[in-house]
Chain A
Amino acid sequence: MPPTFDSTLLKRLQYLSLAAGSSAKLSDGGEVSGWRDYAPGDDYRGIDWVRCARHDELLTKTFKAHVDLHVYLLLDCSPSMGLGRGAKFHLARQIAAALGYVTLANLHCLSVAAFAGGIVADVPPMRHRTKMPKLLKFLEQLPLQGRQTDLARTAERFVRRYQQHGPVIVISDFYDRGGFRRGLDILRHRGYEPRVIQIHDPREIDPKLLGDLELVDAETMAVQRVTVTPRAAMRYRALAAEFRDSVRRYCARYGLACVQLAGDTAEDSALLRVLSAEGMKIR
Chain B
Amino acid sequence: MTLMNPFALGWVWLAIPIVILYWRKIRLRREPVATGMFWEQVLAEERMRAVWQRWRHPVSLAVQLTILLLVVVALADPQIVAPRRIVLVLDNATADADELAQAKRQAERLIARLRPCDRMAVLSAGGAVSVRCNLSDDRAMLQGVLRAVPVVKGSSRVDEAMELARRMLGDEPSGRLLVLGAGRVEAAKDLTASVPGPLPWLCLAGAAVLLLALEWCLYQRRWMS
Residue from B29, B31, B33, B37 with most neighbouring chain A CB atoms (10 Å) = B33
How would you classify the secondary structure of chain A's contact residues: helix, strand, loop or mixed? mixed
| Known interface pairs A226-B43, A239-B38; A218-B33 also in contact (CB < 8 Å) | yes
A213 touches B38 (CB 8 A): no
CB closest chain-A residue, reference B25: A212
A215 touches B42 (CB 8 A): no
A209 touches B46 (CB 8 A): no
Question: Which segment of A47-55, A184-192, A229-237 sits at the interface?
Answer: A229-237
Q: Given B32, B36, B42, B224, which contacts A235 in the complex, CB threshold below 8 Å?
A: B42
Chain A 234-271 interface 0/1 with B at a Cβ cutoff of 8 Å (1 = within): 01100110010000000000000000000000000000
| Known interface pairs A219-B35, A230-B225; A214-B40 also in contact (CB < 8 Å) | no
Q: Given A216, A232, A243, which contacts B31 in the complex, CB threshold below 8 Å?
A: A216
- Is B53 interfacial (CB 8 A cutoff)? yes
What separation, in Å, do the CA atoms of A211 and B26 have in the docked complex? 11
Closest Cβ of chain B to A62, distance in Å, is 44
- Give residues of chain B (31-59) contacting chain A, Cβ–Cβ below 8 Å: 31-43, 45-46, 49-50, 53-54, 56
What separation, in Å, do the CA atoms of A210 and B35 have in the docked complex? 17
B38 touches A243 (CB 8 A): yes
A83 touches B53 (CB 8 A): no
- Is A164 interfacial (CB 8 A cutoff)? no
A212 touches B35 (CB 8 A): no
Q: Given B35, B43, B45, B56, which contacts A175 in the complex, CB threshold below 8 Å?
A: B35
Q: With a CB–CB cut-off of 8 A, which chain B residues contact A81?
A: 34
Closest Cβ of chain B to A71, distance in Å, is 28
Q: With a CB–CB cut-off of 8 A, which chain A residues contact B16?
A: none
- Is B148 interfacial (CB 8 A cutoff)? no
Q: With a CB–CB cut-off of 8 A, which chain B residues contact A213?
A: 28-31
- Give residues of chain B (1-46) contacting chain A, Cβ–Cβ below 8 Å: 26, 28-43, 45-46
**Closest 9 A/B residue pairs (Cβ):** A217-B36, A175-B35, A80-B34, A227-B53, A239-B38, A214-B28, A83-B34, A214-B30, A216-B32
Instruction: Show 28 A/B contacts (Cβ-Cβ < 8 Å), sorted by A.
Output: A80-B34, A83-B32, A173-B34, A177-B35, A177-B37, A204-B35, A207-B33, A212-B26, A212-B28, A213-B29, A213-B31, A214-B28, A215-B31, A215-B39, A216-B30, A217-B35, A218-B32, A219-B34, A220-B36, A224-B36, A224-B39, A224-B40, A226-B39, A226-B43, A227-B50, A229-B224, A232-B43, A235-B42
Q: Given A177-B35, A177-B37, A211-B225, 8 more contacts at CB 8 Å?
A: A80-B34, A175-B34, A214-B30, A215-B39, A216-B33, A218-B34, A224-B39, A243-B38
